[in-house]
Structure 1
Amino acid sequence: MTPLIMLIDDDLVSQFDMRIKLKRHGLTSEIISYDCPIEALRWFEKWKESNGVFRLPSVLLLDWQMPKMNGFEFLEEAIARAIPLNEMDIYMASSYSNCLDEAPDEIKSRVKKRFIKPLSISNIKLLYTNLCVKEKL
C-alpha cells in the first residue's frame, strides 16, 4: 500500500514545492494537503468517524508558523482529540532554525525532525528512508 502523507502549510507555494519534491524524489505516495490546520483537524475527526475507510497518514509534514493555529498548537489539539500521533512520523518544516526551542517537551518528543524550508532533496530522502524502515517493522 502506498504511504499517505499529509502536508499542513498555509503557504501554498511551499506546499506546492514540497508536493513536487516528494513526488519527484521519493517513493510513490498519496499526498493530501491543507493550508489551514483547523481543516486538517476536521479531516482527522472524519477519519475517526470513518471506521477504517480513511487511512491514517504515515507522515505528517507540518509548518510551524501559520495563522489561527501554529504547528505546536495543532499537535496539542490533536493530542487533546486523541488523534494517534504516535502512529505517524511527524516532521516540522520552518524557515526558522530555532522553531523547536519553544515547544513543550511533549511536543518535541513527537517531532521526528525539523526541516528548514525549502525542503532539500536530502530531507526528502531522509523522510522516505525513515518511512521505509518503519513500514518493514
Structure 2
Amino acid sequence: MSIKTIHRACIIDDDKLYVSLIKMLINKNELAQELLVFENGKQAFDYFEEALAGNNATALPQVVLLDLNMPIMDGWEFLDALEPYANELKQSSLKLNVVSSTINPEEMNKARNHAIVNDFITKPISKEAMISAFRL
C-alpha cells in the first residue's frame, strides 16, 4: 500500500543515530519531500513560533516526530511552549507524534492525551508505525 508523499516533515531529536535511521526510512519510502531536523525543542520552537507569528502556516511541517528527552528544551517543554498556538496548529494539517523509548505508562498517557499530540510511538520505531505516522 502506498501513501501520498507529504510536503514537509520534522524530526525533533538529539540522537544522531536515530535521526539518520529515520531520515533513511523517510527517504526510502518517499514519505516527505522536505525534512526539517532540530536537535532540541528550543530550535524547533523558534522555527514554529516564527512560522505561526508570521501567519505562515505553509512553513509548518505536516508530520512531526518529537522526542521527549533532549537537552536545552525537552519534548514536554516544547509541547508547553506550543500550547498557546493549539488552535492554529489544529487548523493546520499538522500531525505531531511523540516518539520515545519511555515505558512509563503515565508518560505515554500524558503524551497521548495532550491537546496537540496526535499519537505516541515507541522507539525503536517500526516501518509500519512510521508509515502510519505519515498517513494524513
Same fold (TM over 0.5): yes
Unaligned runs of 5+ in 2: none
Q: Which runs of 4+ in 1 moved over 3 A?
A: 48-54, 101-105
The answer to whether the Cα contact below 8 Å between 1:9 and 1:34 also exists between their aligned partners in 2 is yes
The answer to whether the Cα contact below 8 Å between 2:62 and 2:95 also exists between their aligned partners in 1 is yes
Is 1:97 the counterpart of 2:97? The answer is no
**Count, aligned residues:** 127
Tell me how far 1:26 sits from its aligned partner. 3.9
Quick one: structure 1 residues 58 and 121, their matched pair in 2 at CA, closer, same or farther if it must change by over 3 Å? same
CA-based RMSD? 2.4
Q: Which residue of 2 aligns with 1:41?
A: 45
Unaligned runs of 5+ in 1: 132-137
TM-score, normalisation: structure 2: 0.78
Is 1:111 the counterpart of 2:117? The answer is yes
SS in 1 for 2:24: helix
Tell me how far 1:54 sits from its aligned partner. 5.5
Identity of aligned residues (%): 26
TM-score, normalisation: structure 1: 0.78
Q: Paired residue for 1:21, among 18, 25, 28?
A: 25
Matches within 5 A, 1:1-137: 2-48=6-52, 50-52=54-56, 55-80=59-84, 82=85, 84-86=88-90, 87=92, 88-98=94-104, 99-103=107-111, 105=113, 107=114, 109-128=115-134, 130-131=135-136
